[in-house]
Amino acid sequence: MLDYSPELSGLAGNPGLPQQLLDHFTAVADEDLCEDLAQRDGLTLQQVRNLAVRCSPWTLRGLIADGVVPLQDIPQDDPWLVVAATGRTDVPASWIRDLARGTDVSLRIELVEFGGHSEELLYLLSGDSHTGVVCAVAEHAGLPADLARRLAAHPDLRIRDALARNAATPPDVLAVLLADGGSPPVERCNRCEDLAEGCGDHEAGVQRLRMAALQNPSTPAAGLDRFPGSPDIWVRATLAGRPELSDDAYRRLAADRDSRVRREAAANPAVGEALIRALAADPDRSVRNAVAANPALPMSLLKQLAPAVRMGTELWPRIAAASPEELHDLAHSTTAQLRALVATHPDLPIDLVTTLAGDPDPSVAKRLARHPALTPHRLHALAERHGPTLYPALARNPNCPPDLLHAMAVTTATTHDTLVEMAKHRSVTPETLQLCLDHPYERVRAAAAGNPSLPVPAMARLLGVAMVP
pLDDT of the chain along its 469 residues, tens only?
899 999 999 999 999 999 999 999 999 999 999 999 999 999 999 999 999 999 999 999 999 999 999 999 999 899 999 999 999 989 998 999 899 999 999 999 999 999 888 899 999 999 999 999 999 999 999 999 999 999 999 999 999 999 999 999 999 999 999 988 888 988 887 777 666 566 767 788 888 888 899 889 999 988 887 788 888 888 899 999 999 899 999 999 999 999 999 999 999 999 999 999 999 999 999 999 999 999 999 999 999 998 888 777 788 999 999 999 999 999 999 999 999 999 999 999 999 999 999 999 999 999 999 999 999 999 999 999 999 999 999 999 999 999 999 999 999 888 999 999 999 999 999 999 999 999 999 999 999 999 999 999 999 999 998 754 5
Q: 376, 357 in Cβ contact below 8 A?
A: no
pLDDT at residue 318, as a whole number: 93
Question: CB under 8 Å, gap of 24 or more: what pairs does 267-274 form?
Answer: 267/241, 267/291, 267/293, 267/294, 268/240, 268/241, 268/242, 268/243, 268/294, 269/243, 269/294, 269/295, 269/296, 270/242, 270/243, 270/244, 270/245, 272/247, 272/296, 273/298
Burial degree of 106 (CB within 10 A; 0-12, 13-18, 19+): middle
pTM of the model: 0.84
Per-domain residue ranges of the chain: 149-220, 225-309, 311-361, 369-469
pLDDT confidence of residue 230: 81
Neighbours of 190 (CB within 10 A): 13
| pLDDT number for residue 195 | 63
Rounded CA separation 340/333 (Å): 10
Determine the pLDDT at residue 196. Answer: 59
pLDDT in the model for residue 192:
73
Contact predicate 335/309, CB 8 Å = no
| Per-residue pLDDT, 397 | 95
